[in-house]
Structure 1
Amino acid sequence: MVTLVERKSLYTVIGSLKHKKADAVRKTVTEALMPYKERVRTITYDNGREFADHQGMANDLEARIYFAHPYASWERGLNENTNGLIRQYFPKQQALNTVTNAQIKHAMDKLNHRPRKTLGFRTPHEFFSKTKTSLTVALRS
C-alpha cells in the first residue's frame, strides 16, 4: 500500500501495492497521481529501496523529488499521521496484501470526507476540490 497525502488540503490517495519493488512502486504512484498531474509539484519520500526509481517518477509526473533524512520520520509528520488514520481501517495485525481495491477506495473516501479541525471542519475533498493549489505529497509504502 502506498499513501500519498497533499499537505494543504490533507487529501489522501492510497495505492494498492503487491510488492515493494521499485518498478511496482513507480507504476502505482504514477497511476495514482496521473489524474492530478497538473497539480503535482513535489514529492517527498522516505529512504526506502522501493523509491530507487524516483527519477522515473519525477519524469513521469514532471515533479521535483525530495527525500527525508534517514530516521527522521517527523520530517514527514503528515504522512505518518495519515498512516495512523488508515490503520483505523486496516489494523496492524491485518496483512495488507489481503486488502481489496474496494476496501482501499472505501478507506480513501472515508478519510477524504471526514471533517478536519485544521481545515475549519471542512473535509479534505471540499478543500482540495475548491482550491487550485499545487499538489505536494509525502509518501511511504
Structure 2
Amino acid sequence: VYQNHRQHCGRKSDFLKKHKFIDYVQRHFFEDGWSLDVCSNRCTAVGEFASSDIVCTRTLYNYVDQGLLDIHNYDLPEKLKRNTKLHRIRRNKKKLGRSIEERPKEINKRNEFGHWECDLVLGHKSKDDEVLLTLSERMSREFLILRIPDKTSVSVMQAFKELQRQYSEHWNDIFKTITTDNGSEFADLSSLEDVSNTLVYYAHPYTSCDKGTVERHNGLIRRFIPKGEAIDNYSLQDIIDIETWCNSLPRKILAYHTPDEIFE
C-alpha cells in the first residue's frame, strides 16, 4: 500500500497533458516573436485557453532549461544580454531647452495619454547611411519609426513637420509633450513650441533611463536590424513591418493588450 501511494504522491508534470498549449506557445514564439510570458498570459486574456489548460511563465522557462521545448536559451533575446557600458559623468552640460526636471511629476505615472519619448537609431554610422527617428508614447507604448536621410537637426525637424501634417488638427491632442536627449540632432526640437502646444523636455546627459520607454523599443528594433548593419539594406516596407510588429505585440504592462488597441 505504501509503495502504491508513493507512486501517486507529489506534483506531476503537465507537459504531455497540455500539449495543445505547448504547440500554441512554440508557434507564436517562432512565428510572431512573442515572449514566453506573453504566450502564457495573452491566451487567457482573450479567452483562447482556460487557466486550467495552460502552465505559468516560470514553468515555461523551466521547460526551456530542461530541454523539453524546441525553444532554447539562445533563442530568448533578453536572457543572454550583458551590460558592458561604463557609467560616465559629464561635467559641462549643454542646455538646449527645458530640462526634464521641469516636466510635471504626473507624467511619470503614465495615466495621461499624449506624452512621448524620442530618439535616433543608427545603422552603419557612416555619413551616407540613413537613420531611424523613433517615438514612443508613454501610456499606450505606441511606437512610431520614421526613416530620415541623416542625423542632422534639419532632417529631424523635416520629419516632425511631416508628422504634423499627417495628424493635422489632432496634433495638440496626441503630442502634448516630447522628451528627448541632448544630442545635436535635437537642438531645434524646442522650436515645436512656437508652432504648437507641444512642450519639449531634454533628459539629463548620459541618462538613458530618463526615456526608458523609447530605449526599450529601440532594443526591439535591434532584433531585426543588428548594430553596425546599414539601414539602407532594409526597404521601407521592412521598416513598416517592424513598426507593425512592435505595435501588435501584447504587453504584460498593458494587461496583455497590444499598443495599437490602447492607442486607438
Settle same-fold status: TM greater than 0.5.
yes
Q: Shift of residue 61 of structure 1?
A: 4.3
TM-score, normalised to structure 2's length? 0.46
1: CA distance, partners of 2:227 / 2:163: 23
1:20, 1:49 → 2: CA distance?
Answer: 9
Corresponding residue SS for 2:229? coil
The TM-score with structure 1 as length reference comes to 0.84
Larger radius of gyration: 2
Q: Please say if 1:77 is aligned against 2:212.
A: yes
Shift of 1:98: 3.2
Question: Greater shift after overlay, 39-48 or 87-96?
Answer: 87-96
Percent of residue pairs identical: 35
Aligned 8 A contact 1:2 1:29 in 2 = no
Give 1:106's match in structure 2, choosing from 241, 254, 257: 241
Contact in 1 for aligned 2:192/2:199 (Cα 8 Å): no
> Partners in 1 of 2:239 and 2:160 — Cα distance?
15
Compare the two structures and name the one with the higher strand fraction. 1
**Larger deviation, residues 83-92 vs 98-107:** 98-107
Does 1:51 find its partner at 2:186?
yes
- Cα distance change, pair 88–111 in 1 and its aligned pair in 2 (3 A): same
- Structure 2: 5+ residue runs without aligned partners? 1-131
Runs of 4+ deviating beyond 6 Å: none
Deviation at 1:101, TM superposition (A): 1.6
In structure 2, which of residues 133, 147, 158 is the aligned counterpart of residue 16 of structure 1? Answer: 147
Gaps of 5+ in 1: 130-141
In 1, are the aligned partners of 2:190 and 2:199 still within 8 Å (CA)? no
How much has 1:110 moved relative to structure 2? 0.5
Partner of 1:90: 225
What's 2:159 paired with? Answer: 28
CA RMSD of aligned residues (A): 1.5
